[in-house]
Amino acid sequence: MLDRFEVEGGKPLKGAVTCSGSKNAALPLMAAALMAEGVTTLENVPDLADIHTMAMVLRFIGADVKLEGGTLTIDASNCRSSEAPYELVRKMRASFYVLGPLLYRFGRARVSLPGGCALGPRPVDLHIKGVKKLGCDIQIDAGYVVAKAERLRGARVLFDISSVGATGNVIMAALAADGVTVIDNAACEPEIVELAQMLVAMGAEIRGIGANRLEVAGPARLKPVRWKVIPDRIVAGTYLTAGVITGGSVTVNACRPDHLTMLLDKLDEAGAHVAIAGNSVTVSVEADKRLKAVDVTTAVYPGFPTDLQAPWTALMALADGTSIITDTIYPERFSHVPELSRLGAKIQKELNSIHIEGVPRLTGASVMCSDIRAGAGLVLATIAAQGRSDVLRVYHMDRGYERLEQNLTSLGAKLNRVRE
């Protein structure tokens, strides 16, 4: 359905919301559940389109998957297929996470090359090179990655570029290999730490968790576990930025402030007041105070997240002064820029950077989402803009934000979903 949001902007957001579980952590954990026969239970799982897509992939492989009230059960006892088909994988890149678990479980895999958001080329070369190092034979056949390994062996895997997905896949495949696999320039994101920690709870031996050099000992015999998914740092960051862009005061409960350090530092630098109390963060802005323009360059964790680049762009569109935002992760991730211009933002794009001249106010208009995070930036801009806006194609938002309109409405936003 091509739902849209009707937004009447210009009202400060005030109040508190509870952070949902992390989508980007839950997806690889779901794939990892294939590695243990029996029932794995994941708690604090968000009810999102991407979660349901991964559930369909696991069911195709043969798992019994049920999501109820934030608790996801995956019974991988009767998995028989080693294929992840195009019609499912094309919907979401994270489906490619099943490559490593299928190699672990069956010694073979046939996984479609992925689809997902339109963020420019995001090849799976690093995944393929990584598992090849372990002794896996890889062929590309009619749009599928066909992987076979009679016997995997531990090896040194050096990533040219730090990749969350490739790190996760190599960790999981390496648990079937004889000996120790060393992964250098491994991703350090909280979602990879979460995956590694759950695998350890399942019986894996992984050293260096949280660092960019990991040692994975194999072969490992894994057992099912019960695991609680970490809070979603991107969701938390989006709501905090929503509070600041509207000149309000918003608290996000049940989050991980230690996963938000770079964003919170930048909000403080821009002039917002940031207060941390346990697992809660409150941001506020003095009445009628304009934020200061602050430059941002996205980077791998613990740098500024590329997934918060669009919300930050919306915020800087209203800041006092000129700012530069550079995206080193996805250089083409600026589809929100022409849409923000429709609201009155003054933004110029140059290569993988944008130059923003802050304006005193934005004015409502019709805008269109092209991916999850661009949509988040547009929603934030429209709730801050004066007057009426329509945000089109919000199905993108349903992939990454649970109960978005309900949460924003509870904070005082005038936002209504129109089903068409």
Q: Which of 19, 79, 117, 369 is catalytic?
A: 117
Largest CA distance in the chain: 67
Written as six digits, the tokens of 268 are 């403080």
Q: Is 153 helix (H, G, I), strand (E, B) or coil?
A: strand
Cα separation, 238 vs 233, in Å, equals 9
Q: Give rounded-to-5 percent helix, strand, coil for the chain.
A: 35, 30, 35
Tell how far CA 321 is from the center of its chain. 30
DSSP reduced 3-state for 304: strand
Interatomic CA distance for residues 195 and 173, integer angstroms: 13
- Supply 215's token pair: 């040692």
- Answer for the pair 306, 164: CB distance below 8 angstroms, yes or no: no
Residue 117 annotated as catalytic: yes
Q: Is the peptide bond before 302 cis (omega within 30 degrees of 0)?
A: yes
Beta bridge partners of 140: 145
3-state secondary structure of 274: strand
Q: Say how many Å lie between the first and final Cα of the chain, rounded.
A: 6
Active site residues: 117
